[in-house]
Amino acid sequence: MAIKTQGDEPGRGSDDAVRFGRRVDSSDNRVRMTEAVVVIELRKNYGAVEAVRGVTFEIARGECFGLLGPNGAGKTTTIEILEGLLHPTSGQARVLGRRWGADDDEIRERLGVCLQQTVLSPKLEVHETVELFRSFYRAGRAPADMIAEVGLTEKAHARVGALSGGQRQRLAVACALIGDPELLFLDEPTTGLDPQSRRQVWDIVNEFKSRGRTALLTTHYMDEAERLCDRVAVIDHGRIIAQGSPDELIHSLGGDHVVEISVGDNGSSRLDAGRLTDLPAVRAVHQEVGVWSLAVTEPHVAIPALLDHLRDDSHELLRLTTRHASLEDVFVALTGRHLRDE
Amino acid sequence: MSDPRAMRRRDAFLALIFARWREIYREPEVVTWSIVFPVVLSIALSIAFRNRPAETATVAVVAALENERITRILRNTPGIEVRVVEDAVAAAHALRMGMAAVVVVKDADGVVYRLDPTRPEALLARSRVDDALQRSAGREDPLPTREESVSEAGARYIDFLIPGIIGMNIMGGGMWGVGYHLVDMRIKRLLKRLMATPLRRGDFMLAQMIVRVVFVFAEVGFILTFARLLFGVPVRGSIIAIMFVSGLGGLCFAGLGVLTASRAMTIEKATGLMNVTQMPMFVGSGIFFSAERFPAVIQPFIQALPLTALNDALRSVILEGSGLISQAHEIALLASWGLVSFVLGLRYFRWD
């Protein structure tokens, strides 16, 4: 892989740690009040397995932050430590200016939590489930309003067991929002849902964001992260390998566009990554199972040059597509793998 | 309750109780296991161990002039049915086919009983026939004896059985209704989800226990009503005493349910643990037969089991009308089992 960006600098994670460390060391009240979540050098081991290996990030109030990574990257472990459900092996996690172990009741009053794949009691009705969760909180929303907001009014008297997957997930989100939380944790909120259901969940999260609340979500869908998150941390093998807004991360590829080509085997020479990288407006080149992906700043400059290059070496062009770069491309550029490779 | 925090806790507590109650009565299996199963079981066992009418001994006598006196005497004896046959061949046939237990023949030396001594009913018939003939010939019994038959309500097998079935149901309900339910919630990550709310763990557990006890009241009331209407099982103790013992039993086994469910991460492991816990009590604690049948060596162990105490207390209170004071030992044993297992279970409970 030839790439002209800083994306895979090995020291990037620890640079962040230094930067955040400095800000938090001066931990005055101003920092505490503005940050909804502060995580410093968080580690979690399960026996010999290091699930989280020194994760550092912070989430400002009113921000929607995404942990983007493949399955097993350490996303769920990280979010469950922040939810107060797991104890870290080492490192710090502050939530709403408080620390787990000291102010647990107070933090829980102000948190909304949607775990990965919770099965709510199938024998209870939708409104009974929401009312049950409402009873746990000091203050909160009216259950009927909450049910309406997630679009389940018609199903209010249906048993949970009779709901579709998408409806169940919206109910789970309603249970997370019923205490009117300041901070919402969503662990893989749309995994396994159909496109329409995913969009409905996104609408609910966007509505929550629009009221100035803070959210942390984990996902392995790049489109979800792009659509919902103000900032994203790309996490892989328990480490954060890149962090920034979706636009920043895509820019870091060096080109906002991706041109993909595949060619026949009959050229006078094999295509060469170095020579493709030298083409004008091409910033990075990546090859995978016969498809060459070029990160490109200006497609109208790069494509004619590319076509000239193919004609000169008499390569047969089998396919050419061009699209806007995505976080998926960022992940591929950083790790050489796709988000959903298992 | 003007303190808003206390009020909110109470609301959450009540909401949990109602939610659990709804889950239970909306589960068809619950009705099957706690109501239908004990009823069917007690009907089946009451048929198998029914009190049979006194057996009649059938005796064959050949129709002949010299046998007429014998036939008359035996016909007038209760418990003997006389079958008059044509000749010796027919008599032998009746004996072979089991239509008669004894063939009575008069000859010159006296009376001959022809029978197969390996058949118990043959010996019974012989003894009755002999008694009747000897007495009519003038025998006087030197020791006067008489019989009293016991089959009054309260002393039959079904009367013994019903409190045992109630005890068995309280044990099963506590172990499965609380223990299995908790493991199921753990596997579905519902426990973890609840722990991410401000709900208190102790309140959650207490709500589970209370719902269990309320359900025990309903269950016991139903089985006792049924037993009384169908079998005439007497309910001699006070309702308060019966419900106190049942409710305490419910709490005790709910505590054992919490303990067995405290660590298990799979249904298989939980099911295995619960079966292992229940098995000694199922066999030894006097559900279907008295625990006294076991040898003295293992009696201390059997008497220490909570179900033995529960069954003993239920039988005393229901069948004999005993008061609670007389059951202090059993009550203390149940309370200790329940408390220790609940505290240990909560101490080692795995919430995620």
Cβ B352–A128 below 8 Å, yes or no?
no
List the single residue in B with minimal CA-CA distance to A184.
Answer: B196
Q: What is the pLDDT of residue A23?
A: 41
Locate B281 and state its tokens.
Answer: 């009590």
Q: What is the pLDDT of residue B269?
A: 92
pLDDT in tens, B119-139: 888 888 888 888 888 888 888
Cβ A123–B198 below 8 Å, yes or no?
no
Give mean pLDDT, residues B27-37: 82
Pick from A83, A123, A135: CB nearest B196 = A83
B293 touches chain A (CB under 8 A): no
Contact residues on chain B for A175, CB-CB shorter than 8 A? 193
Assess whether pLDDT exceeds 90 at residue B238: yes
DSSP β-bridge partners for residue A68: A219, A234
Which pLDDT band holds residue B304 (cuts at 50, 70, 90)?
very high
Pick from B189, B190, B197: CB nearest A136 = B197
Rounded to the nearest 10 degrees, the angle between the axes of helix B201-231 and helix B328-347 is: 140
Q: What is the pLDDT of residue B69?
A: 85
Pick from B19, B26, B189: CB nearest A117 = B189
Domains of chain B, first to last: 4-49+156-347 (no CATH), 57-136 (3.40.190.10)
Give how far B271 is from chain A: nearest CA, Å: 20
H-only helix segments in chain A = 12-25, 29-34, 75-82, 104-109, 126-135, 143-149, 165-177, 195-210, 222-228, 246-251, 273-277, 299-312, 327-335
Which pLDDT band holds residue A7 (cuts at 50, 70, 90)?
very low
Cβ A124–B23 below 8 Å, yes or no?
yes
- The four Cα atoms B247, B248, B253, B257 give a dihedral, to 10 degrees, of 80
Cβ A135–B15 below 8 Å, yes or no?
yes
Q: What is the pLDDT of residue A268?
A: 61
Q: What is the pLDDT of residue A201?
A: 93
Q: What is the pLDDT of residue A25?
A: 41
What is the pTM assigned to this prediction? 0.78
Pairing of strands B80-85, B102-107: unpaired
User: Of residues A59 and B202, which shows the higher confidence score?
Assistant: A59
Pick from B12, B27, B194: CB nearest A123 = B27
* Of A235, A200, A204, residue with least CA distance to A74: A235
pLDDT in tens, A223-250: 899 899 999 999 999 999 999 999 899 8
Contact residues on chain B for A133, CB-CB shorter than 8 A? 197
* Of A64, A19, A45, residue with least CA distance to A245: A64
**A291: helix, strand or coil:** strand
Which pLDDT band holds residue B258 (cuts at 50, 70, 90)?
very high
Which of A324-338, B63-77, B143-157, B278-292 is the least confident region? B143-157
Cβ B188–A86 below 8 Å, yes or no?
no
Give mean pLDDT, residues B167-190: 93
Cβ B197–A128 below 8 Å, yes or no?
no
Q: What is the pLDDT of residue A14?
A: 41
Q: What is the DSSP letter of A159?
A: B
Q: What is the pLDDT of residue B142?
A: 85
Which of B9, B20, B197, B200 to mutate: most A Cβ within 10 Å?
B197
Assess whether pLDDT exceeds 50 at residue A22: no
Buried b (16+ CB within 10 A) or exposed e, A188-198: bbbbebeeebb
Cβ B11–A135 below 8 Å, yes or no?
yes
DSSP β-bridge partners for residue A242: A234
Cβ B23–A136 below 8 Å, yes or no?
no
Assess whether pLDDT exceeds 50 at residue B112: yes
Residue A81 sits at the vertex; the CA angle it makes with A77 and B265, to the nearest 5 degrees, is 65
Cβ A138–B4 below 8 Å, yes or no?
yes
B26 touches chain A (CB under 8 A): yes
Cβ B16–A132 below 8 Å, yes or no?
yes
Give mean pLDDT, residues B224-235: 89
Q: What is the DSSP letter of B55?
A: P
Per-chain mean pLDDT for chain A: 86
Q: What's the first-to-final CA gap in chain A, in angstroms?
A: 21
Residues 176-215 of B with CB under 8 A from A: 188-190, 192-199
Q: What is the pLDDT of residue A26?
A: 41
- The interface pTM score, or ipTM, of the predicted complex is 0.80
Q: What is the pLDDT of residue A6?
A: 39
Per-chain mean pLDDT for chain B: 88
Which of A1-15, A99-113, B155-169, B283-297 is the least confident region? A1-15
Conformational region of residue B166, where left means phi above 0, alpha means psi within -120 to 50, and beta covers everything else: alpha
Cβ B22–A123 below 8 Å, yes or no?
yes
Of the spans A7-21, A245-259, B236-250, which averages the highest pLDDT?
B236-250
Q: What is the pLDDT of residue A30?
A: 44
Which of A121, A131, A177 to mutate: most B Cβ within 10 Å?
A121
Assess whether pLDDT exceeds 60 at residue B297: yes
Assess whether pLDDT exceeds 60 at residue A10: no
CB A107 within 8 A of CB A95: yes
User: Of residues A271 and A258, which shows the higher confidence score?
Assistant: A258
CB A65 within 8 A of CB A59: yes
Locate A166 and state its tokens.
Answer: 């998408």
Contact residues on chain A for B11, CB-CB shorter than 8 A? 135
A139 touches chain B (CB under 8 A): no
Q: Which secondary structure element, helix H or strand E, spans residue A319, and what is its range?
A: strand A317-324
B19 touches chain A (CB under 8 A): yes
Assess whether pLDDT exceeds 60 at residue A2: no
List the single residue in A with minimal CA-CA distance to B27.
Answer: A123
User: Of residues B248 and B10, which shows the higher confidence score?
Assistant: B248
Contact residues on chain B for A135, CB-CB shorter than 8 A? 8, 11-12, 14-16
For residues A335 and A286, give the distance between their C-alpha atoms in angstroms, rounded to a whole number: 11
Q: What is the pLDDT of residue A32?
A: 47
Percentage of chain A lying above the pLDDT 70 cut: 88
Give how far B187 is from chain A: nearest CA, Å: 9
pLDDT in tens, A86-99: 999 999 999 999 99
B329 touches chain A (CB under 8 A): no
Cβ B188–A111 below 8 Å, yes or no?
no
List the single residue in B with minimal CA-CA distance to A104.
Answer: B198
Which pLDDT band holds residue B18 (cuts at 50, 70, 90)?
very high
Cβ A115–B27 below 8 Å, yes or no?
no
Contact residues on chain A for B15, CB-CB shorter than 8 A? 131-132, 135
Assess whether pLDDT exceeds 90 at residue A60: yes
Buried b (16+ CB within 10 A) or exposed e, B280-305: ebeebbbbbeebeebeeeeeeebbeb
Amino acid residing at B236: R
Q: Which secondary structure element, helix H or strand E, spans residue B329, and what is its range?
A: helix B328-347
Give how far A176 is from chain B: nearest CA, Å: 9
Q: What is the pLDDT of residue A215?
A: 96
Q: What is the pLDDT of residue A269?
A: 67
Q: What is the pLDDT of residue A184?
A: 97
Q: Return the number of other C-beta atoms located less than 10 Å from residue B352's C-beta.
A: 13
Q: What is the DSSP letter of A121?
A: -
pLDDT in tens, A152-196: 999 999 999 999 999 999 999 999 999 999 999 999 999 888 899
Cβ B188–A118 below 8 Å, yes or no?
yes
Contact residues on chain A for B8, CB-CB shorter than 8 A? 135, 137-138
How are strands ordered across the β-sheet holding A282-288?
A: A2-3, A282-288, A291-296, A257-263, A317-324
Q: What is the pLDDT of residue A154?
A: 96
